[in-house]
């Protein structure tokens, strides 16, 4: 497992440039515009694995590229939003429905501060703002800006994205390998791309081509390791 963590940790940080756009061209364009010009409030919602966290981290990366002070915040029930956020040029707050009611008051105050200063305020959740079950005043504030659903890629789009990623890296990838991976690892693009990159490094070290048998052997060596990113997804490896 330690080796798998090391392999996956070598993948590039999330940016708007390496996000697989699919049906989200308008959303990505709006995030790029926000990072470039500021003065924008955007709410992004979608199902788990659709790429929300990648986009939140990507817009912070884009802000920092122009030397803006920006921070990514992953919400938890224990999190309390502190006033240190109030001086930033941009913030991306992920999974806001996880905030406790008293922390939602902090979110309300952060929103008002960013709106007053015309700073970039990007927030994500698992549903549209008015369906999150937050405090009514918070839901209303979050619905005032632009609201986008991030659409998860179809299996065909994921396969095409893996093939394009492989081609860009000079990886010779048989058509059946992406479909094989979809049935045996977590299906979000971050994990799929990380696994493909780790497979590439392992294949180079082993001096073997990336084929279904090679991918099967590689996954079998890792699937039982506690906490692995590898999931069986109801399919026995080797079937």
Give the pLDDT confidence of 143-169 residue by residue, as tens digits: 999 999 999 889 999 998 899 888 888
Q: If you average pLDDT over residues 164-182, what whole number do you get?
A: 89
Question: What confidence score (pLDDT) does residue 239 get?
Answer: 40
Predicted confidence (pLDDT) per residue in 61-93, tens digit: 999 999 999 999 999 999 988 778 988 999 999
Question: What confidence score (pLDDT) does residue 147 get?
Answer: 97
Question: What confidence score (pLDDT) does residue 236 get?
Answer: 37
Question: What confidence score (pLDDT) does residue 11 get?
Answer: 56
Q: If you average pLDDT over residues 35-64, what whole number do you get?
A: 92
Question: What confidence score (pLDDT) does residue 233 get?
Answer: 42
Instruction: Out of 51-65, 112-126, 174-188, 217-231, pick the least confident.
Output: 217-231
Mean of the per-residue pLDDT values of the chain: 86
Read off the pLDDT band of 225 (50, 70, 90). low
In the predicted structure, residue 6 carries a pLDDT above the cut 50: no
pTM recorded for the entire structure: 0.79
Instruction: Out of 3-7, 55-59, 202-206, pick the least confident.
Output: 3-7
Q: If you average pLDDT over residues 47-61, what whole number do you get?
A: 92
Question: For domain 2-11+153-220, which architecture applies?
Answer: Orthogonal Bundle (1.10)
Question: What confidence score (pLDDT) does residue 73 get?
Answer: 96
In what order do the strands lie in the sheet containing 70-74? 70-74, 90-94, 120-125, 41-45, 146-149
Q: Find out if CATH 3.40.50.300 is the number for domain 25-149.
A: yes
Read off the pLDDT band of 238 (50, 70, 90). very low
Question: What confidence score (pLDDT) does residue 1 get?
Answer: 44
Question: What confidence score (pLDDT) does residue 10 get?
Answer: 52
For CATH 3.40.50.300, the residue range(s) in the chain are 25-149
DSSP string, 130-176: GGS---HHHHHHHHHSEEEEPPPPPHHHHHHHHHHHHHHTT----TH
Q: What is the spatial distance between Cα 161 and Cα 40, in angstroms, rounded to a whole number?
A: 30
In the predicted structure, residue 26 carries a pLDDT above the cut 80: yes
Structure tokens given for 100 = 């406790």
Q: Which residue has the tokens 């993948």?
A: 11
For CATH 1.10.8.60, the residue range(s) in the chain are 2-11+153-220
Between 34 and 194, whose confidence is greater? 34
């Amino acid at each position: 497992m330690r080796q798998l963590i090391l392999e996956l940790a070598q993948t590039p940080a999330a940016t708007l440039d390496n996000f697989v756009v699919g049906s989200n061209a308008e959303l990505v364009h709006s995030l790029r515009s926000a990072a470039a010009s500021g003065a924008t409030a955007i709410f992004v919602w979608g199902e788990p694995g659709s790429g929300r966290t990648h986009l939140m981290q990507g817009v912070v990366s884009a802000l920092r590229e122009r030397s803006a002070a920006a921070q990514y915040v992953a919400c938890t029930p224990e999190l309390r939003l502190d006033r240190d956020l109030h001086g930033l040029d941009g913030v991306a707050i992920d999974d806001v429905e996880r905030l406790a009611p008293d922390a939602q008051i902090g979110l309300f105050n952060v929103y008002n501060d960013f709106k007053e200063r015309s700073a970039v305020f990007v927030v994500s959740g698992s549903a549209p703002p008015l369906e999150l079950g937050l405090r009514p005043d918070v839901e209303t504030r979050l619905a005032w800006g632009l609201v986008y659903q991030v659409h998860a890629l179809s299996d065909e789009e994921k396969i095409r994205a893996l093939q394009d990623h492989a081609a860009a890296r000079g990886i010779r990838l048989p058509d059946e390998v992406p479909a094989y991976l979809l049935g045996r690892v977590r299906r979000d693009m971050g994990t799929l791309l990380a696994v493909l990159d780790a497979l590439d490094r392992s294949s180079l070290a082993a001096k073997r081509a990336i084929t279904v048998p090679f991918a099967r052997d590689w996954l079998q060596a890792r699937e039982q390791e506690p906490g692995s990113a590898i999931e069986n997804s109801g399919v026995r490896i080797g079937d």
